[in-house]
Structure 1
C-alpha cells in the first residue's frame, strides 16, 4: 500500500524532520502474462488488477497466472543505507530470478529483492552507514487445491562487514513470508516480516512487526473491490537514545478494466487511503487514476498512467505543530516494452526533469 507523504518545505535539520522527508515516498509492506518488470508496474500506477511477477511476491497465487520465465532488473549493488533524508528507492537495487510453470504448479527463486518496509525504516532511522538487507533470496511455490489457487513466498537475507570504515562491525539480517489464495471471486493475502535487524556498533534498527493483509472481491471479470491494511513497528537505538518508529495505514479501493481486447488494455481506479507515522505525520487521500497499455507496433508496447488525489488530499505534520499541506498531487508515469523475440525489454520514463523526458 502506497502512503505518500508530501515533502515539507522547511530547512529544519533536527532528526525528526529528516524522518518526515524520508517519508516522502513511504511504502507499506505492491495484460499478457509474459511481461514482468518494475518498469511495467510503475508505468501502470501499480493498479490492483495488474498481474506481474513483481506483484506476485505479495500475492503469490499470481505465480500460477504467469508463464515460465527468467527476469532481470537493472540496478546497483549498493550496500549501505542512504544518507539520512534520502529515499532508498532513489537507487534501484539489482534483482533477478526465474519461474518454472506447469499446469498444476509453479515454483522458482529470485535474488536481490529487498523489503521496502524494512529499508524505509533503516533509512528513516537517520543512522548513516547502517547496512540494508544483504544478499536477499526469495523462494516461491504455487499450486491448486480444488477451486482455490494458492501460493507461498519465503525470504531470507544476511550480511556482515567487519572492515567497516567507521571501525565498528556492521551486520544485517531479515526473514519473512507471504501467503495468498484465490478462488476466482475472492482473493486473500498476507505479507509478514518475521525478523529484521541492522546493527552498527551500539546503534541499531530492529523490526518489532511488519504486516500487510489484503482482500479482494471480483464483482465481475472487469471490476474488483479491495481493501488492505499495513503496519510497521521498529525499535531504533541511535547515539545512546532509544526510540520507536510506528507506521500504519489502510486503503479501500475499486478498479475497473474498461477495455481488455487483444493489444489494448484501458482501466481506471479510485480509493480512499489513510496513514499515520506516529508522532510525525498523518495523511488522508482520495486518489483516482487511469492507465493504458497497448501495442504501438508489432514489436513495441506503450504504457502510461496518471494519478491524482481529489477532494481529500491532506497531510498533517505532527512534528511541525500539526501544520497541514494540501498541494498538487498529480503523478504521471509512462514506459515502453520492446519485444525481442520471446523476450521483452521494459523501460520507464517520466517528466520530473524540468518537464523533459528522463529515461531509465
Structure 2
C-alpha cells in the first residue's frame, strides 16, 4: 500500500510540475549535460551547436533539487535559427571554487563563483548544417571583503556541424577566471574542452569523444596547484522501434581516462586512472495520447576499475543504476520529470528526493 501511495504521489507531483530535457536524458541513461550521441533531444545543442537547426521554435524553463534554475528560447528565422539560454553551468567547478580548502592551501574567504551565465546560439544550413555557441558570464563583489575586490569572468565557444550521417563538434572554455579571495592576487582558473564526432551506419551510431577539464589555484606568492582530468570515450548506440508506440535504446561505451592532482607550493603530483565499460538499456512508450513513460538501467561491466598512484587497482562498487521518468503532453505544452531515489545505484526510492529534475517546454 505504501508503494502505491508513493507512486501516485510522484505522478501527482509530475502533473503539476514541468518538462525537462535533462529529465528525459537522465531517465534514458544519457548525459543530462550534453544529451545523447544517438537520441534526438534539445539537450544535444550543448554538445553540438548545429543541432539547433533541428531543435527550434520553443521556450524551456528547467529546475530541480540537483540543478540550478535555467532556461531559454530558440527561434527559426528564415534559413537560420538562433537562441538565448540563461543559467547554464557546465563544468564550472563552483563547488571547488567556493570551498575554503584548496589543494593544500586554506583561504579565509572564497572565490566568486561562475554565475549568471548567458549562452547565445546561431545556426544555419548551407548544404552542411553548422552552428555556433558563445558562453559569457561576469560578476564582481566589492562589499563582502572591504579590502579585496572579488571578480569573475568567463568566455566560451562551441562549434558544430552535421553533414548527412556525419556529425562533429568542438567546445572550449577560452577564459574562466575568479580573482581575489584573501588577497587581490589570489586566482582560480577553470579549463574545459570537449571534442568529438559520430557516424550513423544503418541506424547504429558510432562515436568518439575526448574531454579535458580541470582548474588551477594560485594563492598570492605561492606556486599554483592544479587538477587535470582527461577522458576518451568510444561508443555505439542504437534506437529501435518495437511497436507503433514504444521504443528501446541501448548503448555501449568504452571509457578510459585519468585524473591528476598537484597541491600548491610544488607538491608531488598524484594520479589515478580509470577504465570502464558502461552498458545502458532504456525504453520509452506512449502509454496514452497524453502520457509517455520511460526508464533505463545501466551498469559498468567487464572493465570497471580505478588504478591509484601506486598502481594498485580497485573495482568500482554499486555501478548499477535504475531511473524512471514521465512526460505529460498538453498540446504544445509538455511537462516532464525524472523519478530518482536518494540511492539509485542501491535501488532505494526515497519520497523526499523523488523528483530529480523538472521543467516546461512550450513549442510554437
TM bucket normalised to smaller:
0.7 to 0.9
Checking the alignment, whether the CA contact within 8 Å between 1:214 and 1:229 is kept in structure 2 is yes
Matches of 1:332 and 1:166, distance apart in 2: 49
Residue number in structure 1 paired with 2:81: 106
Matches of 2:101 and 2:243, distance apart in 1: 48
- TM-score w.r.t. the length of structure 2 is 0.77
SS at match of 2:342: strand
Residue number in structure 1 paired with 2:161: 181
Residue number in structure 1 paired with 2:112: 131
For residues 155-175 of structure 1, what are the alpha-carbon distances to aligned partners after superposition, in whole Å with 9 as ceiling and x for unaligned?
100011122269743221111
Checking the alignment, whether the CA contact within 8 Å between 2:207 and 2:235 is kept in structure 1 is yes
SS at match of 1:93: coil
- TM-score w.r.t. the length of structure 1 is 0.78
Checking the alignment, whether the CA contact within 8 Å between 1:51 and 1:62 is kept in structure 2 is no
SS at match of 2:340: strand
Matches of 1:201 and 1:307, distance apart in 2: 44
Checking the alignment, whether the CA contact within 8 Å between 1:313 and 1:326 is kept in structure 2 is yes
Residue number in structure 1 paired with 2:122: 141
Superposition RMSD in Å: 2.5
Residue number in structure 2 paired with 1:79: none
For residues 63-90 of structure 1, what are the alpha-carbon distances to aligned partners after superposition, in whole Å with 9 as ceiling and x for unaligned?
1112410000125xxxxxxxxxxxxxx7
1:44 shift after superposition: 1.3
SS at match of 1:97: strand
Matches of 1:245 and 1:107, distance apart in 2: 35
SS at match of 1:352: coil
Closer, same or farther: CA 117–125 of 1 in aligned 2, 3 Å: farther
How many residues end up aligned between the 2 structures? 308
Closer, same or farther: CA 149–236 of 1 in aligned 2, 3 Å: same
Q: Mean alpha-carbon deviation: is it higher for 93-102 or for 160-169?
A: 160-169
Checking the alignment, whether the CA contact within 8 Å between 1:36 and 1:54 is kept in structure 2 is no
Matches of 1:112 and 1:61, distance apart in 2: 20
Query: Does residue 291 of structure 2 align to residue 310 of structure 1?
Result: no
Greater RCO (CA < 8 Å, at least 6 residues apart): 2
Closer, same or farther: CA 322–164 of 1 in aligned 2, 3 Å: farther
1:241 shift after superposition: 5.2
Residue number in structure 1 paired with 2:97: 122
Q: Which of the numbers 298, 301, 310 marks the counterpart of 2:292? A: 301
Closer, same or farther: CA 291–103 of 1 in aligned 2, 3 Å: farther
Closer, same or farther: CA 307–194 of 1 in aligned 2, 3 Å: same
SS at match of 1:272: strand
Closer, same or farther: CA 64–212 of 1 in aligned 2, 3 Å: same
Residue number in structure 2 paired with 1:193: 173
Matches of 1:172 and 1:260, distance apart in 2: 50
Checking the alignment, whether the CA contact within 8 Å between 2:156 and 2:172 is kept in structure 1 is yes
Q: Mean alpha-carbon deviation: is it higher for 161-170 or for 172-181?
A: 161-170
Query: Does residue 212 of structure 2 align to residue 235 of structure 1?
Result: no
1:355 shift after superposition: 1.3
Query: Does residue 324 of structure 2 align to residue 334 of structure 1?
Result: yes
After TM superposition, the structure 1 = structure 2 runs for residues 46-85 of structure 1, keeping only pairs within 5 Å, are: 46=30, 47-75=36-64
Checking the alignment, whether the CA contact within 8 Å between 2:327 and 2:335 is kept in structure 1 is yes
